[in-house]
Structure 1
Amino acid sequence: MRWTLKPKPEAQKIAKLAQELGVEAPIATLLIQRDIDTFEKAKSFFRPSLDALHDPFLMKDMDKAVARIEQAIAQGENILVFGDYDVDGTTSVALMSSYLDTIHPQVATYIPDRYAEGYGVSYMGIDFAADNDMTLIIALDCGVKAIEKVAYAKEKGIDFIICDHHRPGDQLPDAVAILDPKREDCTYPYDELCGCGVGFKLISAIALSRKQNFEELLPYLDLVATAIGADIVPITGENRILAYHGLNVINQAPRAGFEAIIKQVKKETLTITDVVFIIGPRINAAGRMVHGNHAVSLLRETDLETATKFASEIEQYNSDRKEADKSITQQALDQIIENQEEGNKTTVVFQEDWHKGVIGIVASRLIETYYRPTLVFTRSGDKYAASARSVKGFDVYNALHECAEHIEQFGGHKYAAGLTLLPEQYEAFKAKFEEVVAASCDERLLVPEISIDSEINLADITPKFHRIIKQFAPFGPRNMSPTFMTKNLTDTGYGKKVGADQTHLKAAVVQNSRGTQIGCIGFNLGDKYDLITNKKPFMAAYAIDENEWNGNVSLQLRLKDIK
């Protein structure tokens, strides 16, 4: 592991903020690193207020979108709410359709089939709208690049309102309204919203124009918080406010679908991490294994008994997804060893019967073993389809762009992308991708990084210190749970390997051979045991956790690495 320590702010700034807030210097350091350097900023960080949300009408085209929806309602038009099959898409569709249901009786939903239609707005979806006399489609979490499809819909007399958060191309579709804070001509103050967040701004604008009480929109925030967590958008600004209040809804008054999932997993209080690893994968599993419609049905359901039935079906899909992902990952690892590709700068694997719904997860799993840009291919009709995942700091989308001559189609982000190519292009693409990455990827990026916020002493770790850090939540990009480093640690003599196969490390440590001792657990660090034996001094990178044992709660270090 490569340890990088974030720069420490100026001592004067730390002392000033610590005094203003009445906190210790290590807390002030963490806040300044997050650009929270005044009392006012700290107040809004620790007490995220819904009053601080921006006026939705500041978003380009919001007035046009609201006017067109009101026109549809006044004229009794049929409206189709369209969204992708992932968590952001399905939560967006559930949010928009269930809100519109309260003001208009003629609303239908559509999620494209992952295999028959693929990502984004589809011709099949537009044909479905035309066949059912629908004259307005609201597309969520997609559509900003769907120029030909929006034109096709227009020929059939169907208007589009697009709510997206992806970066637009050079040309925009001919839609009635395009709500996307990443539009260059949009001056909305916050551009990191997810698709469901943009959808929430649209229902906020409709409610505002109808003089509805904002309180009526709070029950939709559980969907927004789930999309924010699952879509890995920065938890700053409006996202932090929406996620904070959305988590309160999930924990205090969840919709029937969430309540059914939570009951199944028997979890009391959910954090944003739980939303990402418990709720997110289950919603995603529907689109991966069967169809995203199942997720929308669960999220729209108001009867707990029916929702419980839907949730148990989705639990089965998630279980099937886990099985598929486990076996495909093993087959892929075997293939890398068999082809003697351990020394490559990239991982590119293919098997034609691998399940298309899980190849993205498998790509992420392979990065855990071989830390390098990774593509997992399977057959999709008469083409090969792949999911790409990257390592921190390397733009896989740009790398694919350089291989465009060997690709039929590709799209995505810096760290995750998808592509299709013809079988005869595969070998040439594989060679070119390895060549591009080898030439452009800094060697250091191929070593996993631990980003350390701050060096502290064990004496700094008090119950008050931990209590304040917990209030930094919800955690996520640009506000990650803090990682600390402490030097001159020694084990008190009880360190040992634990776990069925001795893969984990358990110890109790002191600093500079004195002071209060604190327990440590290091998952998958059993092979580092020799570094702590015989009171050898070491340094550790870790997070601070609570350990509950026999009803007693104590603080412990969750080790990420030791040296």
Structure 2
Amino acid sequence: MRWTLKPKPDPETVSNLSKSLGVGKPIASLLVQRGIETFEDAKKFFRPSLEDLHDPFLMQDMLPAVERIEKAIEQGENILVYGDYDVDGTTSVALVSSYLISYYPNVATYIPDRYDEGYGVSYKGIDFAADNDISLIIALDCGIKAKDKVAYASEKGIDFIICDHHRPGKEIPDAVAVLDPKREDCNYPYKELCGCGVGFKLLQALTSRREENFEILLPYLDLVATAIGADIVPVTGENRILAYHGLRVINAAPRPGFKAILEQVKKSVLTLNDVVFIIAPRINAAGRMKHGLHAVKLLTEENEIMAVKFAEEIESYNRERRDTDKAITLEALAQIEEMKEQERLTTVVYHENWHKGVIGIVASRLTETYYRPTLVFTRSGEKLAASARSVKGFDVYDALEGCSEYIEQFGGHKYAAGLTLLEVQYENFKRKFEEVVSASIDKNLLIPEISIDAEINLQEITPKFYRILKQFAPFGPGNMRPVFMSRRLEDTGYAKCVGEDQTHLKCRLQHSPSGVSYGAIGFNLGNKCGLLAERQKIKAVFGIEENEFNGNFSLQLKLKDIALDEVNVLKTKT
């Protein structure tokens, strides 16, 4: 592991913020690292306000989008709400369709079949609209590259409103409106919304035009928070505001679908991290193993008995998904070992029978194992389809652009993308991808990094310190859970390996010479138990968490890595 200690922020700024907030310098330092330098900045950070959301009409094409929906409603047209099959897409469809249906009945929903139609806007979906006398499609979390399909729809008398957040191609589709903050000609102040977030801005604009109170949108924020967590967008700016208030909705008044899921997993209060690891995989499982419309039904169901039924179905899909991705991951790992490709800077594997619904998860697992930009391919009809994942700091989307001569279609983000290509181009693509990555990647990025916010002493960890840290939530990219490093530590003599396969480390670390000690747990650090032998001085990287045992709560260190104290820590510049 590569330990990287963030530079200390300006001491005067830290001191001033510490005084104005009445908090210690360690807390003030963490805030300044996050760009919070004044009392007013801190107020907005700790108490995110919906009043600070931007005017939706600042987004390029928002007015024509709203006017086209208003026209459709005035003329009694049929509207189709269309979205991708992942969490961002299905929550977007649930969001926009349920809002429109609340005051206009002629609204239908459509999620493309992952296996029959693939990602994004499909010709089959457009044909469905034409066959059902639908004249307006609102596409969510997809469509920014659907130039030909939008033109095809136009020939059939169908208009498109696109709400997307992916990077545009060279040409914007000729739709009635294209809402995407990443458009070069869009001056919207916040660029990091997810697809559901863009859909929410559309609802905000519609509500404003209808002169309705913004508060009618509050019950929908749970869907937006779920999409923000699942799509791994930065939890900054508007996303932080929407996630903060969305989590409050989930915890205070969960919709029947969420309530049914939470009852199954026996969870009461959810963090954004819980949304990512509990709710999101189950919603995703519908599109991976069966069909995304099952997720939309769960998210829009108002009857609690029916919601429980839908949740049970989705739980069965999730169990199947877990079994499938585990089996394929083992096959992919064996394939890599057999090919002896560990010297490559990329990981590219293929099997024609791998389940298309889980190759993204498998790609993530391989990236964790080998820490290389990774692609997992399977057959999809007459073509090959792949999911790409990357390592921190490397833009896999740009790398795929460098291989575009061999690709039929691709799209995505910096760290996750999808693509299709002809089978005859597989070897050419694999070779080119290795070339592009080898020529552009900083080799340091191939060593997993632990980014450390600050070095502290154990005596600085107090209940008050932790209470303030908890208020930094919701955590996510751009506002990660604080990570600390402490030196001159030693085990108090009780270090041991725990877990079924003894892979985890449990110990109690004491600071020398203060004598302050805390219990610690290090998942997958069992192999480092020997470092704690004979009271050797070590240093540790950790987060701080609350541990409950027999109804008693205490603070403990969640270890990320440990090393002998003489090992140097890299210091990087901002």
Whole-angstrom CA distance in 1 between matches of 2:148 and 2:405: 22
Q: Offset of 1:322 from its aligned partner?
A: 0.4
| TM-score of the two chains, using structure 1 as the length reference | 0.98
- Deviation of the 1:404 alpha carbon: 2.5
Deviation, 1:401, is 2.2
CA distance in 2, matches of 1:205, 1:336: 50
Q: Counterparts of 1:135 and 1:419 in 2: how far apart (Å)? A: 30
- Please say if residues 547 and 555 of structure 1, whose CA atoms lie closer than 8 Å, have aligned partners that are also in contact: yes
> What is the percent sequence identity of the aligned residues?
71
Q: Residues 97-496 of structure 1: matches in 2 within 5 Å? A: 97-496=97-496
- Counterpart residue number, 1:22: 22
Equivalent-residue separation in structure 2 for 1:253 and 1:203 (angstroms):
21
Q: For 2:410 and 2:129, locate their aligned partners in 1 and report how far apart those are by CA, in whole Å.
A: 27
Alignment match, 2:96: 96
Helix, strand or coil at the partner of 2:515: strand
After TM superposition, list the pairs within 5 Å mapping 1:478-517 onto structure 2.
478-517=478-517
Q: Distance in 2 between matches of 1:183 and 1:400?
A: 20
Query: What is the aligned residue count?
Result: 563
Aligned 8 A contact 1:403 1:432 in 2: yes
2:79 alignment partner in structure 1: 79
Identify which range, 79-88 or 413-422, moves more after superposition.
413-422
Deviation (angstroms), 1:407: 2.5
Once the two structures are superposed, residues 156-179 of structure 1 have per-residue CA deviations (whole angstroms, 9 ceiling, x without a partner) of: 111111111122223211111111
Q: Distance in 2 between matches of 1:165 and 1:436?
A: 26
Alignment match, 2:572: none
What amino acid maps onto 2:382 in structure 1? D
**Shift of residue 272 of structure 1?**
0.2
Task: Quote the offset at 1:121 in angstroms.
Answer: 1.0
Q: Name the aligned partner's letter for residue 144 of structure 1.
A: I
User: Residue 549 of structure 1 aligns to which amino acid in structure 2?
Assistant: F
Question: Is contact 2:410-2:417 (8 Å) kept?
Answer: yes
2:80–2:138 Cα contact (<8 Å) kept: yes
1:97: how far off? 0.5
Q: In the superposition, relative to structure 1, how do residues 311 and 482 fare at CA in structure 2: closer, same or farther (>3 Å)? A: same
How far residue 340 of structure 1 moved from its aligned partner, in angstroms, is 1.5
In structure 2, the CA distance between the partners of 1:229 and 1:494, relative to structure 1 (3 Å rule), is same
TM-score (norm 2): 0.97
* Aligned counterparts of 2:103 and 2:336: Cα–Cα separation in 1: 55
Asked if the contact 1:490–1:513 (Cα under 8 Å) also holds between the matched residues in 2, the reply is no
Which stretch of structure 1 is more off in the superposition, 64-73 or 415-424?
415-424
Cα distance in structure 2, aligned partners of 1:155 and 1:525:
60
- 1:464: Cα distance to partner? 0.4
User: What SS class does the counterpart of residue 120 from structure 1 fall into?
Assistant: coil
Deviations 1:250-291 (A, max 9, x none): 001011111111111110100000001110011111111111
CA deviation profile, 1:271-323 (whole Å, cap 9, x unmatched): 00000111001111111111101001111100010010000000000110000
SS of the equivalent of 1:338 reads helix
Pairwise CA distance, 1:393: 1.2
Structure 2 unaligned regions, length at least 5: 564-574
User: How far off its partner does 1:69 sit?
Assistant: 1.0
| 1:384, distance to aligned residue in structure 2 (A) | 1.6
1-structure distance, mates of 2:233, 2:160: 25
- The offset of 1:62, in angstroms, is 1.5
For residues 37 and 544 of structure 2, what CA distance do their matches in structure 1 show?
23
Equivalent position amino acid for 1:479 in 2: N
CA contact (8 A) 1:491 1:508 kept: yes
Measured against aligned partners, the alpha-carbon deviations of 1:191-249 in whole angstroms (never above 9, x if no partner) come to 11111111111111111111111111110000000001001111111111110000000
Q: Which segment drifts farther, 436-445 or 35-44?
A: 436-445
SS at match of 1:36: coil
Spell out, residue by residue over 1:373-402, the C-alpha distance to the aligned partner (whole angstroms, 9 max, x if none).
Answer: 111111111222111111111122222222
Post-superposition shift, 1:84? Answer: 0.5
Whether the aligned pair in 1 keeps the contact of 2:62 and 2:202 (CA below 8 Å) is yes
TM-fit CA distance, 1:505: 0.8
Confirm or deny: 8 A CA contact 2:392 2:415 kept in the other structure.
yes
Write the distance in 1 (CA, Å) between the matches of 2:424 and 2:63. 49
1:48 shift after superposition: 0.7
Letter in 2 for 1:454: A
